[in-house]
Amino acid sequence: MPGRRSSAAVDAGTAQARGWEYRGVRAAARTHVRVRNYGSLFLGEETTVAYGDKAVGINHTLPTGRAARYTGGLWVGKFIKVVTFQRLTREGSRMIAAHASRISSMEGMAAHAETCDLRIRRYS
């Protein structure tokens, strides 16, 4: 948003959640720590969207339709499978089971609550 005061540009850009933003903003070195919603940030007059599209590592596929509120641009990491696992000790299970059971019950997830209650009975 060339020509706008930095704070006004940050506020407007954050609200709009565009795919790209902030080309030529004054005080660019400090601006990037204040923004939240963008797909890719081009800081200062030395940068251009074309660099991001064609040459400097990110690519042309950036979020549209205000999707920058919850995602960034497409990059190789989007194609990496991420898996998680959980492991608790019996003591850990005793500590968490009642809480998880109550949350599950409040959400109407009876089978989830029962798996927690089973561990309460088993490890108490």
Give the domain ranges of the chain.
6-75, 90-123
Residues of the chain with pLDDT under 50: 1-4, 17, 20, 22-23
Predicted local confidence at residue 73, as pLDDT: 74
Predicted local confidence at residue 78, as pLDDT: 77
Residue-wise pLDDT tens digits, 58-70: 666 777 777 777 7
Residue-wise pLDDT tens digits, 72-89: 777 777 788 888 889 999
pTM (global) more than 0.85: no
Q: Over the chain, what HEC string results?
A: CCCCCHHHHHHHHHHHCCCEECCCCCCHHHHCCCCCCCCEECCCCCCCHHHHHHCCCCCCCCCCCCHHHCCCCCCHHHHCCCCCCCCCCHHHHHHHHHHHHHHHHHCCCHHHHHHHHHHHHHHC
